[in-house]
């Protein structure tokens, strides 16, 4: 029992604090070739769950903020820096790990497709399609499921889609990101109207280079507003590049 | 540094894990008498920050889920059960506590005004107006500020307002809750239209008892949908009573 009115005499021993990161990128599906939400997983090389795939992560470090630990994990796993990194949730059920009590602070991140495609990964790291995961270690299937829900919810009302794209992009490229994340086709004309009325896109005045008669216009996001509206907690990492 | 591809050999010593709870209720302001967002704080009886006010909480317990610890803290501090309890954020900056590294998982809760008014509290517990706090221990001012932002944001798009009210209520009572939380006056006719068009209220068919010619109708919230849309993580505690 915690006690609200008398003091406890020190932290309880026996609780391990871990930091894990769900790293999403759009990558070509290995069979269909369609762009799908994907994430890198790490094969465990020791018990518990030796041989199973797990979210990249490790123990929290006494001298490092949780966010720095999460960002480092991401760089080490994928070789790229995140376009977006946010705390997802702190998972603290008693029986999450068979080898003792572990509380995991989980972050989620978005990285750009072309960066993710060229990222060098270790031999125990592999990219998986988010909707086609094997049985993972610990409660990591549930964590990915929740992260996917947050990604899809957030995509509908915020402007994080472009962190999966380059600096500039066409409306068609942006629509394909939404289609991949939401896993449904969107009407191009409706999509254009909604995006344009949101006021969040800025035309760059340039067009895609190439031999077409009327090459598509290039846009970028308006970076004058913060990327993630986390109120008083919005941090520099959550701003656009 | 965390390491994504090789195993760490055990949790790092030197990180304490705490659970704190921001408990909001509407109470009469001690001077103006207006209904304002209030929260109970606990006076610290030992260092660090001896004598300062702090959020109720304590160390995480090895045999208890974080949510159970948070709910227990709430019951011990206020004597009432929460109408709403949700994880707010996990605060993990390196220098939050002068006596060593402490990571705090913070929950926020809403309790009903009449329950909060009669709650027995210990001699080191006192209710404060959320917008008029003294300098608190640790980073607890910042935590309350963030919790207030979440309460106000969430009030605008979800239907948590009634957890601050009784089972049934009039539209006028509900509007007063919104006004107290959002700290601005709302037009009664507009408010009625918006609430009615949201479809979340159910008329009970009853009216307030009393001697008035046309006493106001009583409503309750439609409890067939989950209270907090937390996707796959929505837990039984977040459903309505």
Q: Chain A to chain B, count of Cβ pairs less than 8 Å apart?
A: 175
State whether B5 and A77 contact (CB < 8 Å): yes
- Same-domain pairing of A134 and A201: no
Per 3-state DSSP, chain A is made up of helix, strand and coil in percentages (nearest 5) of 30, 25, 45
CB contact, 8 Å: B136 with chain A? no
The residue out of B127, B155, B183 marking a domain boundary is B155
CB of A25 within 8 A of CB of A111? yes
CB contact, 8 Å: B56 with chain A? yes
State whether A59 and B2 contact (CB < 8 Å): yes
Which of left, alpha, beta for B26 (phi over 0: left; psi -120 to 50: alpha)?
beta
- Residue A5 included in any domain: no
What pLDDT is recorded for position B10?
78
CB contact, 8 Å: B217 with chain A? no
Pairing of β B57-59 and β B15-28: antiparallel
Q: By three-state DSSP, how is residue A44 classified?
A: coil
Q: Alpha-carbon distance A40 to A133, whole Å?
A: 11
Query: Over the stretch A82-109, which tens digit does the pLDDT of each residue have?
Result: 878 999 999 999 999 998 999 999 999 9
CB contact, 8 Å: B155 with chain A? no
Q: Give the structural domain span for B80.
A: 15-155
Task: Tell how far CA B229 is from the center of its chain.
Answer: 16
Token look-up 């989620």 returns A108
State whether B231 and A149 contact (CB < 8 Å): yes
Helix (H) or strand (E) holding B9: none
State whether B59 and A232 contact (CB < 8 Å): no
Record the pTM.
Answer: 0.86
Instruction: Give residues with Cβ within 8 angstroms of A102, minimum separation 6.
Output: A15, A16, A17, A18, A96, A138, B11
Nearest-Cα distance to chain A for B68, in Å, is 9
What pLDDT is recorded for position A232?
66
The mean of the pLDDT values for chain A is: 85
- Same-domain pairing of B146 and B177: no
- Residue B4 included in any domain: no
On chain B, the residues whose CB falls within 8 A of the CB of A102 are 11
- How many domains does chain A fold into? 2
Mean pLDDT by 10 residues, chain B (241 residues): 48 91 92 92 94 95 94 86 89 92 95 75 88 96 95 82 86 92 92 86 87 84 63 52 35
**Mean pLDDT value across residues A180-200:** 89
Task: Tell how far CA A95 is from the center of its chain.
Answer: 26
Query: Over the stretch B76-91, which tens digit does the pLDDT of each residue have?
Result: 888 888 878 999 999 9
CATH code for the domain in which residue A34 is found: 3.90.79.10
CB contact, 8 Å: A79 with chain B? no
Which of A56, A60, A76 is the closest to B103 by Cβ? A60
Give the sign of the dihedral formed by CA A175, CA A176, CA A182, CA A188. Answer: positive
What pLDDT is recorded for position A163?
84
Q: Which of residues 13-42 of B touch A (CB under 8 A)?
A: 13-19, 42
What pLDDT is recorded for position B2?
41
- Same-domain pairing of B143 and B214: no
Q: By three-state DSSP, how is residue B136 classified?
A: coil
What pLDDT is recorded for position A236?
44
- Residue A31 included in any domain: yes
Q: By three-state DSSP, how is residue B65 classified?
A: coil
Q: Which of residues 175-194 of A touch B (CB under 8 A)?
A: none
- Same-domain pairing of A149 and A43: yes
Nearest-Cα distance to chain B for A173, in Å, is 28
State which residue of chain B sits closest to A59, comparing Cα positions: B11
Q: B15 is written with which tokens? A: 């990180």
Higher pLDDT, A10 or A219: A219
- Same-domain pairing of A135 and A175: no
**Is residue A177 very low, low, confident or very high in pLDDT (cuts 50, 70, 90)?**
very high
- Same-domain pairing of A150 and A47: yes
Lowest mean pLDDT among A30-44, A111-125, A177-191: A111-125
CB of A85 within 8 A of CB of A71? yes
CB of B50 within 8 A of CB of B60? no
Q: By three-state DSSP, how is residue A230 classified?
A: coil
- Same-domain pairing of A52 and A115: yes
- Residue A10 included in any domain: no
The residue out of B121, B155, B189 marking a domain boundary is B155
Which of A1, A2, A93, A99 should be substituted to probe chain B, the one whose Cβ sees the most B Cβ atoms within 10 Å?
A2
- Same-domain pairing of B100 and B192: no
- Residue B79 included in any domain: yes
Q: Write down the ipTM of this complex.
A: 0.84
State whether B146 and A6 contact (CB < 8 Å): no
- Same-domain pairing of A57 and A121: yes
- Residue B60 included in any domain: yes
Nearest to A90 by CA among A132, A153, A143: A143
Q: Alpha-carbon distance A170 to A175, whole Å?
A: 9
CB of A103 within 8 A of CB of A20? no
State whether B94 and A56 contact (CB < 8 Å): no
State whether A153 and B231 contact (CB < 8 Å): yes
CB contact, 8 Å: B196 with chain A? no
The residue out of B155, B176, B205 marking a domain boundary is B155
Q: Alpha-carbon distance A236 to A239, whole Å?
A: 6
Q: Alpha-carbon distance A230 to B140, whole Å?
A: 17
State whether A4 and B89 contact (CB < 8 Å): no
What pLDDT is recorded for position B52?
97
Higher pLDDT, A178 or B122: A178
Nearest-Cα distance to chain B for A75, in Å, is 9
Nearest to A186 by CA among A171, A200, A199, A201: A171
CATH code for the domain in which residue A166 is found: 1.10.10.10
- Residue B24 included in any domain: yes
Q: B110 is written with which tokens? A: 């809403």
Query: Over the stretch A16-37, which tens digit does the pLDDT of each residue have?
Result: 999 999 999 999 898 999 889 9
**Is residue A224 very low, low, confident or very high in pLDDT (cuts 50, 70, 90)?**
low
Nearest-Cα distance to chain B for A87, in Å, is 8
Nearest-Cα distance to chain B for A66, in Å, is 6
- Same-domain pairing of B137 and B46: yes
CB of B105 within 8 A of CB of B60? yes
Torsion of CA B19, B24, B25, B28, to 10 degrees: 120
Q: Which of residues 82-121 of B touch A (CB under 8 A)?
A: 87, 89-90, 92-94, 101-103, 105
CB contact, 8 Å: B145 with chain A? yes
Which of B1, B2, B80, B152 should be substituted to probe chain A, the one whose Cβ sees the most A Cβ atoms within 10 Å?
B2
What pLDDT is recorded for position A76?
87
Q: B90 is written with which tokens? A: 């996990």
What pLDDT is recorded for position A25?
92
- Residue A3 included in any domain: no
Nearest-Cα distance to chain A for B150, in Å, is 8
DSSP A92-158: --TTS-TTSEEEEEEEEEE--HHHHHH----TTEEEEETTS--PPSTTHHHHHHHHHHHHHHHHHHS
- Same-domain pairing of A75 and A127: yes
- Same-domain pairing of A78 and A164: no
Q: Taking each helix axis from N to C terminus, what angle separates B140-157 and B171-182, rounded to the nearest 10 degrees?
A: 140
Query: What Cα–Cα distance (Å) separates residue B156 from each residue in A13, B27, B108, B161, B191?
Result: 41, 20, 17, 9, 12
């Amino acid at each position: 029992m915690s006690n609200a009115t008398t003091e406890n005499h020190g932290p309880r021993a026996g609780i391990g604090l871990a930091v894990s990161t769900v790293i999403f990128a759009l990558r070509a599906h290995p069979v269909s070739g369609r762009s799908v939400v994907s994430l890198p997983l790490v094969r465990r090389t020791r018990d518990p769950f030796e041989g199973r795939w797990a979210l990249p992560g490790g123990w929290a470090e006494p001298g490092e903020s949780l966010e720095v630990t999460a960002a480092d994990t991401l760089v080490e796993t994928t070789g790229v820096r995140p376009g977006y990194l946010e705390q997802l949730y702190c998972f603290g059920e008693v029986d999450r790990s068979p080898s003792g009590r572990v509380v995991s602070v989980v972050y989620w991140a978005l990285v750009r497709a072309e960066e993710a495609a060229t990222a060098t990964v270790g031999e125990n790291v592999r990219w998986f399609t988010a909707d086609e995961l094997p049985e993972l270690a610990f409660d990591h299937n549930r964590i990915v499921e929740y992260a996917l829900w947050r990604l899809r919810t957030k995509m509908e009302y915020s402007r994080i889609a472009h962190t999966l794209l380059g600096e500039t992009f066409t409306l068609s490229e942006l629509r394909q990101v939404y289609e991949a994340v939401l896993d449904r086709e969107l009407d191009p004309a409706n999509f254009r109207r909604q995006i344009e009325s949101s006021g969040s896109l800025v035309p760059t005045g340039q067009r895609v280079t190439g031999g077409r008669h009327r090459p598509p216009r290039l846009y970028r996001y308006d970076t004058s507003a913060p990327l993630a509206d986390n109120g008083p907690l919005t941090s520099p990492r959550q701003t656009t590049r």
